[in-house]
Every structure is written in C-alpha cells, then in structure tokens.
Structure 1
Amino acid sequence: MAGAEGEDSLYPIAVLIDELRNEDVQLRLNSIKKLSTIALALGVERTRTELIPFLTDTIYDEDEVLLALAEQLGNFTMLVGGPEYVHCLLPPLESLATVEETVVRDKAVESLRKISQEHSPVDLEVHFEPLTLVMSTLRQAAEDKSWRVRYMVADKFSELQKAVGPEITKNDLVPAFQNLLKDCEAEVRAAAANKVKEFCENLPEDSRETLIMSHVLPCVKELVSDTNQHVKSALASVIMGLSTILGKDNTVEHLLPLFLVQLKDECPEVRLNIISNLDCVNEVIGIRQLSQSLLPAIVELAEDAKWRVRLAIIEYMPLLAGQLGVEFFDEKLNSLCMAWLVDHVYAIREAATCNLMKLVEKFGAEWAQNTIVPKVLGMSNDPNYLHRMTTLFCIKALSEACGQEITTKHMLPVVLKMSNDQVANVRFNVAKCLQKIGPVIDSNALQAEVKPVLEKLATDQDMDVKYFAQEAISVLALA
C-alpha cells in the first residue's frame, strides 16, 4: 500500500513530463497552465526540489508555452514555501528572460520584478542582484553592436538608474548616458534625449548640479543642433524642465540660449514643444526675464517673411497665451494677433480668426468685449474690402463664444450696416454671417432687424448675394 502511495505521489511529475514532450502544442500549453495545481499536489518541498529544476531544464518550447510559464512562475511564491524560498524561482525566470521572443522576455522580467519585492534585503543581495552580474551586462548592452539593444537601454535608463542607486549612477551610468546621447543612431539619441530631465532629477542631490553642468549639458548643447528632427523634438519636450533643477542663474546663462535656438528651429514640433513648456521657465526666472529673452524671438517668428512660419506661430498662440496669462498677453502679444487679421495671405487671416475664437474661449467674453471686439468691428470701415470681410469672418467665429448680449448689442448692428456695402462679395458674406449668428442673437432682433435685411438682399442684383440671402432666410425659418 505504501508503495502504491509512493508511486501515486510521483504521478503529477510523470504526467507533466509526458505532456511537455507531447507534439500537441495546445496540450503542452494546458499542462503549463495547471502548474499551480500540480505544485499543490506535490507540496512545497517537492515543488522546490523536483518541479522547479525540471522546468528550468526544459525551457526550449514554443513561445506561447514559454509565455504562459513566465506568467505562472510570477505567482509561485507561496507554492515554493513563501518569501524564504522564493529565490528558487530565479533560475527558470532568468532563463526565460534571455529567450529570443520579446513578449516572453518582458513577461519574465515582469515576474522577476514581482518576486523581487518578496525577497528579504539579504536574499536580494545574495540571490537576486547577481543575475548575469547586472552592471557588466548593462555596460555591454549600452555598447552593444545592435542599435536596438542600445535603444532599449536608453528607453529604460531611468528605471535602471533607480535600481542601481546613487553611487553606481555617478560612477557608471553618467558616462553610459553621455555615450547614448552621442550615439551614432538617431533612434538611440532620441530615446536618451527624452530621458534627460528624468535622469537629471534622479541624480544624487549632493552632486546633481556638478554632474549636469559637467557631463550632461555639453551633450545637450550638441543635441539642440542635431541633424535629426526627432532627436531635437524629443529634447525640446523635456529641456525646459532642466530650469527647475538648475535654478535661475544657470537657466539664464546656459539654458535660455538653447531655448532661443530651438524656438527658431525649422521643425514645427520643436518650436511647439518649447512653447508648450514655457511655464517651467516662467516659474524659475519670472515673466520679465522671459519677455526680455524669449518674446523677441516669438515676435520675430510672428513677423517672419515666410507665411508658413507665421502660420505655425499663430497655431501656438492660444497655448502660449495660456502659459503667460492674460495681462502679459495683452501687453506683448495682442497687437500681433490683430495684425494677422489684415495679413496679405488668406491662410494667415483665416488662422488668425480661428486664433481669436480660441483666445476668447480661454480668456472669456468680458475680455473679448473690452479687448478684441472693438478692434474687429473697427475693421468694418477699412478701405480694403478683404479686411471688411475679415470682420464678418471674425463675427461668425466669435459670436457663440461671446454670447447673445455681446453679439446682439455690438456685433449685429455692424453686420446689418455692411449689407449696404458696394462690393458684392461683402454683401453675400453678410448673408452667410447672419445665417451663422442667427441662433445666437435675440429672437426679437432676429425678426425685427435681421429678417428685413435678408429679404432686401434676396432681391439683390448679384446672383450670389440673392442665393445666400435666400438660404439664410430658409435656414433661420424667416420666410
């Protein structure tokens, strides 16, 4: 009887061996998925001494099977006897972390991280940290012939930095990071550039400024003028954050010149990334210093001879306004926004109109009434009919954001007056404008003031004016 029990206790391992040698992948996968049941049947000691060594020796299967195994082992702590024995799971997971298929490696690393939290400090030092001697492996990976390996090192650099601690960071990771920032492959440089702020934040506080100024900043200065736009863009997305780390004096002396270069970069994404993070610099050096240093460059771009450059700055203006605040915007940038409305390029005038709408949405109707609306309405008397039409375009764009009172009281009278314009293009745009603002204005004004004007325009000699007036009457149900 005892012999039968002994044979019975060997059954789970024997079955597992047979199933893992079976040609049917699905059968092998199913057997891996029930490992926890087998481990429970075996007990913690036999799981440690028989099941885990067997699994370690048989890692040569299909990726799907190995993925399931890597996931299962991350939940095996209590099945091997708890945290005291969790280190016995390291050998199979270490092997799985070196297989060719990425998803298997990632799952193995995930499980390793999971069980690392269940090691005692002593066991971590004795069992976990020696996995393939971390630092030597890291050095080799940072200098690997394959750029994809170096890219992964750069991409995970902040996590590696936190894992190895301050001393190893100073002695080993700083030089490695410098090399990645200077890598011959743009993808690697971009990945490293994206980590600059995070890497600098995590440097040991007692030597942070010295390390940044001596080792990181020289590389950053080179990357500002990199030949690859993805590298420059990645750097621009984080470089402003260095100002909070380095402080006011270093920012003014060393970082502002770099920001100015990036603000004039030919790549729109680089400029956007700088403008979108201006608040970081504003917190450190203040709005006065910022206006003296960066605003002239923004104004220069806003008045650039190339209309596409002007267009790019217009698109960033609402974002910039939000960063700098309404008072600063009114003082320094409002006049630029109004000047764009009379630009000789239609695309600029159109973008400027859209820009005003976004600014009103950001700063509110009261600001619009005091700052924007009077200037827009003043253009209705401009000798250039294109500028008069811009007034109508702006009213269409601003009416909803400004609301019923401002639209009815201030904008509508100007639109109605323009129905007598000598230029047919202006008159049919009056009809289109009335159609657009009709739902916003007061219903009494719609019947008493809008309807008669549209009926008059519907009898205009110009066919286009008649067409758009009749369409407006129909849409607004004024017939």
Structure 2
Amino acid sequence: MDNSGDELYPIAILIDELRSEDVQLRLNAIHRVSTIALALGPQRARDELIPFLQDSLDDEDEVLLALAEELGRGMDEYIGGKDWAHLLLGPLENLATVEETLVRDKATESITKISTLLSPAQVEEFFVPLLRRLSTADWFTSRTSGASLYPPAYPQSSDATKDELRKLFLGLASDDTPMVRRAAAKWLGPFVKTFSKQHVISDALPIYRKLSSDDQDSVRLLTVEDLIAIAEKLDPAEVKEQLLSSIRAEVGDKSWRVRYMVATHFVKLAEAVGVDIVREELVGAFVQLLKDNEAEVRTAAAGQIPGFAKLLPPEVILARILPCVRDLSLDASQHVRAALGTQISGLAPLLGREATTEHLLPLFLHMLKDEFPDVRLNIISKLELVNTVIGIDCLAQSLLPAIVELAEDKQWRVRQAIIEYIPLLATQLGVKFFDEQLGNLCMSWLGDNVYSIRESATINLRKLTEVFGVEWARGTIVPKVLQMGSHPNYLFRMTTIFAITTIAPTLTLEIIRDNVLATVIALVKDPIPNIRFNVAKSLEVLALTLANKGAEGHDVAQRRIVPAVETLRNDPDADVRYFAGRALERARAGEISETTIFGVLWVL
C-alpha cells in the first residue's frame, strides 16, 4: 500500500470528527475506531491511529468513556494481534488518570482484559512499568486506578517483581489520601486470592490490619471482604491464631456501616473460617448482630439467618437463634420485620416438622397480622417451604383463618399473593375441602375493585380447572362466571369475558357449546364498546379452541361464532370492527395448535 491521499482519508476524517464541537459526532467517531483501524491495516493502525488516540484525549467524559470501552473491545485484532496488544496500554493509561471515576473504572477494566492477552515478557516490559507509574503518581486518581490492576498483574510476574508489587500495594494501603486507601481496601481481597499462603501471612495480613484499623469507616467497611478472602486461604487453626481478634473487632466496630457489612457477608465469613470457629465464636457474634442497636444492621443480619443456621445443629438454632428471631418478629422497624418475613421460612427444613409446628407456626401467624403489608406479603410468598416440612393439612388448619382474612386485605398486593398461593393449597387440600373453605373466596376476587386482582383471579380459575378437572369447573366455576354476564355493572360483565377467555382452552367442546357460547354471544349487543371489542377477542380464542376439537368444533364455530363476529364487523366503534375482523379470520381458519391459542391469550 502506498502513501496516496486516499489512504490517509480514514484517519483524516477521524481527526476532523474528534475535533468537532458536536459531542455526538465525536462519540460516533470513537465507536467507529475499530472500523477505521481495519481500513488502515495493522501497520498504520499501530503507527498512526494508536499514537493519535493517546495524544488527543477529549475533555468530554462521555467521549473518554466510549474510548476506554472501545480499546478493550477486541481492538488487538486490528493492530496485529496479541503480540502488539501492549500498544493499547498507552492510551488506556492516560484514561486511567482522569478525574471522572466512570472513565477510570472503564479504563482499568479494559487494561485488565488486555492483560490476559500479554505474555509474561510483555507483562514485565510494559504492564508492570505502567502499574508502577500509576501507583507512584502525584495525583490520587492515578493511584486509585493502580490499586485495581494488581490482581491481573501479579500471577504473570516474576518472583522479584511479585516482591516489588506487594511492597507497592502496601504503599497504597498507607497512602495519605482516603480515596487511595479505599481503593486498596477494595482490591486487597482479589489481590490476596493470587498469593501463596506464605505471602498471605507475611504480607497480606499486615496490609489488612493496617486498613481494618483505618480511622475512616469508609475504608474499614471494605476490609470485611478482605477478611473473608484471607480466611479462605488459611486453614482453621491459622484462622483461629491470626484472624480471631480481627473478626471480633469487625463485629464490634464502632461504626454501624462496618457492622452492616459484616452482617451482609456473615454467611460467607462463617463458611470461610470453619465449623469449630463458627460454633465457638460466630454464634455469639451473629446473635450480637441480630440484637444490634441499628435497624440497618439487624435487617442485614436477618437476611443471613437461614444460610448461617445451615451451619448449626438444630439444638443450637433453637437455643441461640430462635429467641432472636422471636425478638425480630416484634422489632420496631418494619424493614427488619419484612427482611425476617422473607427468611424465616428457611428455618423450617432445618428444624423439622415438630419444632416448626411448635416454634415457627406461631411466629407465622403473628407476622401474617403485621400492620406493614410487605411483612405479610413476604411470609405468604415463602409458605411453600413450610408446607414441604409440616404438610398442607397442618398448615391449612393453622393458617387458613389468617389466609381467609388476608384474602380481603386492604393492600391489593397481599390479596394477589394469596391468589397465587391458592392453586398449591387446592392441589394439597383436595376438591371437597377446597369447595367448602375456599371456593366462594376465589369467586369473590372476580369482583375486586382492582384490575390486577380480577386478572389474577381469572388465571387462578384456569389453574384450578387444571387441578380439579373440567367436570368440576362445569359444575362449580362456569355457572358462577356466566351468571356475572348479566350483571348491571359493566365491570362484572367485563370480568365474565376475561374469565371465559382465560379458561376456554381448558374446557371441552360440550361446555363451550352448551354453556359458554350463549353468554358470550348475548354480549355482542352490549351497550359498552369496551365490552364488545373484548367479546370479539373472546370469540377469537373460542374459535381457536373449537378448531382444535375436530370437525364438530369447527362446525360449531362456523354456525355460531362466525355470525356473531360478522355482526361485530359492522359495529360503529372502530376498535370493535378491528378485533372482529381479526376474530373472523381466525374463526374461518382450520385446526390451530394449543401453543398458538396461548400465544393469542398472551397478546390479549
């Protein structure tokens, strides 16, 4: 390739666009960097494009962010492959020093990606010097970026370089600027994972102790994950010798934010330190967090209850953890109670049937009456875990009155959660018990004043039909649904249409022909346009359903549905005419799969 003017064209355009005052134009240019590199070829991309990008940093953060991302997105392919990937480190190093945090983070992320392409020789020659420059730079932004690059650099470095990197990182942990110490605390954990056990004890522990005793709680709270990473590299005896005092200090830290981080990661910490330390030390520490003065800490600890309890024998759970759970169920903070509501059911499989019945069921009953709706909602949504332990009969006898009460809860989300739980209850209780205790309740939801409840109620009817069978639906559900079709309130008539449309695919030809069609066709002349176009939708689904019932079903659709739909095609309302036209097309079609029917239902 010669040096004609045409060959300079791509880089010239890029230069012009990057110098434009239009930010969007500069952004577009950055997003086309790989295309321009491809047009230039590897040699010119290395000789012209990369130096240009390194020397022409834009002052707009949005453009810099895009450049940092593009350089880490397979750019090595366009400059000659892995052997030349180190050239991308130059512009990325500049981006890793800018003031905007998002740009620096994206630049270091791209550097990390590129480091995986480098050979050990390239790491020593290009990556380590970059890391050295960033870690010792005058401005703190460079040093914070440098902290994130030690984990990818360390494994590929020589032993002498590893010694230097550990010392450099200690310098970051001792930095005068809190932002740099925070970065060191954030990245110490990933860095420790690359250490040998010897260097964990000799180098990582002193760095951790320095950071965990920092006067800034924003630094100390980040050391919780460092503690876990170090514990995972040591055996239980070493953890007991080296880390026990640190664990106690973190749990009892004067800052609630540090204690919150300990509570949030408590299960990971417990899994890392070993069973003996869990039972000797961490049970007491966990109880301390569950009783913390700050609601945020108690909330985080409540979220760890089932995971931590899995590490304990049932007698310890009953003696030490369960009293705290009782206290939390009465906590003054609604957020603590809500967090407990999500987790408390997880104790049932650990305690077994007898202990769950004796100790947990009373707490469920109490929390189902909590004044905060999220508490009630969280308990309901997790009841299936309890059901698997104590059985539906016991659960129903204990909780059915509360469930019936919640079915009329003033918060619609609670009512909806109960509806979604009904099919499980129905499956376990059997048809007789269901009809006596819950049948009328399920039908009452069809008249709820919240649309989402009415919609969920119709879906519930379809699930119940699948559980108890079509003949049960014919005698129990269908008559009550069709009766609402003549209700003076149009919302009830609308619900009839929705319910029929939803359950139609589960019904037999006879039920549709002898019971359902008359009610739907009668609503073709309803005075409310919304009713009529939903009738058109319903007739479409009924036509599809009948088409799958064979020749007789197709004949019923032609004789009864097609004339009704043709009436709607002449409706004065445009929406009604549109849906009627679509329904007519479906009604005249042949056999259609059940998947298609449910696809239409989903669209409707």
Q: Structures share a fold, TM > 0.5?
A: yes
| Structure 2 contact 365–402 (Cα < 8 Å) conserved | yes
Show the counterpart of 1:450.
561
1:279-294 pair list within 5 angstroms: 279-294=384-399
* TM norm structure 1: 0.72
Q: In the alignment, is residue 89 of structure 1 matched against residue 193 of structure 2?
A: no
Following superposition, the deviation at residue 388 of structure 1 comes to 5.2
Q: 1:200 aligns with which of 309, 313, 326?
A: 309
Distance between the aligned counterparts of 2:346 and 2:160, measured in 1?
53
Task: Find 1:475's aligned residue among 582, 587, 590.
Answer: 582
1:316, distance to aligned residue in structure 2 (A):
1.8
1:212 counterpart = 2:294: no
Partner of 2:72: none
Task: Give the fraction of aligned pairs with identical amino acids, expressed as a percent.
Answer: 28
**Which amino acid counterpart does residue 488 of structure 2 have in structure 1?**
Y
State how far apart, in whole Å, the 2-side matches of 1:343 and 1:319 are. Answer: 12
Q: Tell me if structure 1 keeps the 8 A contact 2:345–2:383.
A: yes
Give the letter for the 1:448 counterpart: R
Kindly report the root-mean-square deviation, in angstroms, between the aligned alpha carbons of the 2 structures. Answer: 4.6
Instruction: Report the secondary structure of 1:476's partner residue.
Output: helix
- What is the rounded CA distance, in whole Å, between the counterparts of 1:24 and 1:353 in structure 2? 60
Measured after TM superposition, the shift of residue 75 of structure 1 is 6.6
Write the distance in 1 (CA, Å) between the matches of 2:510 and 2:584. Answer: 23
Q: Which region of structure 1 is more displaced relative to structure 2, 261-270 or 147-156? A: 261-270
Q: Name the counterpart of 1:142.
A: 251
Work out whether 1:188 is the aligned partner of 2:297.
yes
1:413-432 equivalences under 5 Å are 413-416=517-520, 418-419=522-523, 424-425=527-528, 429=531, 432=534
Deviates more, 1:411-420 or 1:145-154: 411-420
1:393 pairs with one of 479, 483, 498:
498
Supply the distance in 1 between the matched residues of 2:413 and 2:341 (Cα, whole angstroms): 16
**Change beyond 3 A, Cα 1:329–1:272:** farther
Within 5 A, what are the aligned runs for 1:64-143? Answer: 66=184, 70=188, 73-74=191-192, 77=195, 87-90=201-204, 91-92=206-207, 94-95=209-210, 121=235, 125=237, 130-131=241-242, 134-143=243-252
CA deviations over 1:421-474 (Å, ceiling 9, x no partner): 8x635x9735532333314413544443223234456779xx7xx767644433
CA distance in 1, matches of 2:255, 2:183: 28
Are residues 1:246 and 2:351 paired?
A: yes
CA distance in 1, matches of 2:369, 2:467: 34
Partner of 1:222 in structure 2?
327
Structure 2 residues without counterparts, runs of 5 or longer: 1-126, 548-553, 589-604
Shift in Å, 1:21: 4.3
Q: CA deviation at 1:235?
A: 0.7
CA distance in 2, matches of 1:365, 1:39: 58
Q: Mapping of 1:228-377 within 5 angstroms? A: 228-302=333-407, 304=408, 308-309=410-411, 311-324=412-425, 326-328=427-429, 330-333=431-434, 336=438, 338-342=440-444, 346-347=448-449, 351-360=453-462, 362=463, 365=466, 367=468, 369-377=470-478
Distance 1:440 1:186, change over 3 A: same
Q: C-alpha offsets along residues 153-183 of structure 1, whole Å, 9 cap, x if unaligned? A: 2112223333444454444433332232222
Counterpart CA distance in 2 for 1:176 and 1:72 is 26
> What code does the residue aligned with 1:256 have?
L
SS of 2:472's equivalent? Answer: helix
- Given residue 162 of structure 1, which amino acid in structure 2 is its aligned partner? E
Look up the match of 2:138. 23
8 Å CA contact 2:423, 2:460 repeated in 1: no
Q: Write the mapping of 1:428-443 to structure 2, written as runs, cut at 5 A.
A: 429=531, 432-441=534-543, 442=547
Answer yes or no: is the 8 Å Cα contact 1:314–1:355 preserved in 2: no
Cα deviation for residue 276 of structure 1 reads 2.4
1:402 aligns with 2:506: yes
How many positions carry a matched residue from both structures? 439
| Residues 317 and 355, structure 1, Cα contact 8 Å, conserved in 2 | no
User: 1:265 and 1:31 mapped to 2: Cα distance?
Assistant: 48
Change (3 A) 1:143 1:269: same
Query: Contact 1:154–1:188 at 8 Å: present in 2 too?
Result: yes
Distance 1:343 1:87 in 2: 64
1:377-412 Cα shifts (integer Å, max 9, x gaps): 32334674345554323112323x437847853565
Aligned partners of 2:365, 2:330: CA distance in 1, in Å? 12
Structure 2: how far apart are the matches of 1:224 and 1:38?
A: 48
Corresponding position of 2:286: 177
**How far 1:260 moved relative to its partner?**
0.6
Provide the C-alpha distance between the structure 2 equivalents of 1:139 and 1:35, rounded to a whole number of angstroms: 28
Moved more, 342-351 or 149-158: 342-351
Return the offset for 1:344: 9.5
> Please, what TM-score do these two structures have when normalized by structure 2?
0.59
- How far has the Cα of 1:45 moved from its partner? 6.6
Structure 1 stretch displaced more, 286-295 or 242-251:
242-251
C-alpha displacement of 1:240: 1.7
Structure 2 CA distance for aligned equivalents of residues 389 and 16 of structure 1: 68
Which of 365-374 and 444-453 deviates more?
365-374
Letter in 1 for 2:268: E
Q: CA deviation at 1:190?
A: 0.8
CA contact 1:416–1:430 (8 Å) conserved in 2: no
- After superposition, the Cα gap between the structure-2 partners of 1:437 and 1:268, relative to the gap in structure 1 and judged at 3 Å, is farther
SS in structure 2 at match of 1:385: coil
Report what 1:7 is aligned to.
none
Contact persistence 2:264–2:304 (CA under 8 A): yes
* SS state at 1:394 partner: helix
- The 5-angstrom pairing of residues 49-68 of structure 1 reads 52-53=166-167, 56-57=170-171, 59-60=174-175, 63=180, 66=184
SS of residue matched to 1:223: helix
Mapped partners of 2:350, 2:417: distance in 1: 26
Q: What SS is found at the alignment partner of 1:284?
A: helix
CA distance in structure 1 between the aligned counterparts of 2:292 and 2:414, rounded to whole angstroms:
32
Q: Distance in 1 between matches of 2:268 and 2:422?
A: 35
Cα distance between partner residues in 1 of 2:568 and 2:273: 77
Give the residue type in structure 2 aligned to 1:153.
Answer: V
Secondary structure in 1 aligned to 2:449? helix
